[in-house]
Amino acid sequence: MTTAFVLGGGGVLGAAEVGMLRALLERDITPDLVLGTSVGALNGAMVARDPTLAVIERLAALWNDTARSRDVYGDRPLRTVRRVISTGTHVYSAAPLSRRLREELGDVTFEQLPVRLQVCAASIERAAEHWFSTGPVVDAVVASAAVPGLLPPARVVTAEGVEHFLDGGIVNSIPVGRAAQLGATRIFVLQVGRIDRPLTPPSRPWEVARVSFEIARRHRFTRELAELPDGVVAHVLPARGTSARDDTVLAARDFGGVAQRIAATYDATRTYLDELP
């Protein structure tokens, strides 16, 4: 049996995945393969480097520190306005995220990890889904988490040359199909809760893009679940502590519910796992 952890994207809601990881690792469920997109790439890289309960304390500290300092999206308003005017493409710098990741992961490469890891990002030049599986892990995670409009496209040297990447959620937000392609027979899907919430028609211009993206990401996820080969079992773990308020424009900076999301999702996932045959 080959066990995969698939960690989906979802920005600040990614704290919910920490609760799921705690419940899994407490039951000695460890991955042979980790796949991550966007914030799931961040959480996934941490657990691929240390697939033990010790990583939960580090992840919780990382999320709580971010909540307190607002380091990633914490620029002063005037500075963000100046950046938007000067770049025309993004609001925040990627430097704080990159710096914080290097504090945790250093210069570790994919080849050095004890658990096989792959990270998804969207290549601009090739207009394609790209999977990082070699080279520096931090560069790949920053590329996977480059939210359009919030963070700049990430410049990374790949086998194809110098490329620029945006958030992997654009092309594959919850890569369950990829896990099956790579030989996983038991897949635990760590998602942030949005797939459970019903969509309603947008009523404001800025809601159109969000609803359109949600339709695309949920359609692909549902299709890939339905198309899993015989013999492959997927467990979609329950996320808690999120709501429709988390899908608003201003929610990207709201880290206030980190501890509650971790705790609530841990309890729900623990119950789910206890009820498995």
Catalytic site residue 50?
no
Q: Among residues 38, 123, 144, 173, which one is catalytic?
A: 38
Q: Among residues 139, 167, 246, 247, which one is catalytic?
A: 167
CB count, 10 Å around CB of 206? 9
Catalytic site residue 247?
no
Please, are residues 38 and 72 in contact by the beta-carbon 8 Å criterion? no
DSSP annotation string for the chain: --EEEEE---GGGGHHHHHHHHHHHHTT---SEEEEETHHHHHHHHHHH--STHHHHHHHHHHHHHHHH--TT---HHHHHHHHHHHSS-SS-SHHHHHHHHHHHTT-BGGG-SSEEEEEEEETTTTEEEEE-SSBHHHHHHHHT--TTTSPPEEEEETTEEEEEEEGGGT-SS-HHHHHHTT-SEEEEE--SGGGSPP----SHHHHHHHHHHHHHHHHHHHHHHTPPTT-EEEEPPP-S--GGGGSGGGGG--TTHHHHHHHHHHHHHHHHHT--
Q: Tell me the chain's radius of gyration from C-alpha atoms.
A: 18
Active-site amino acid positions: 38, 167
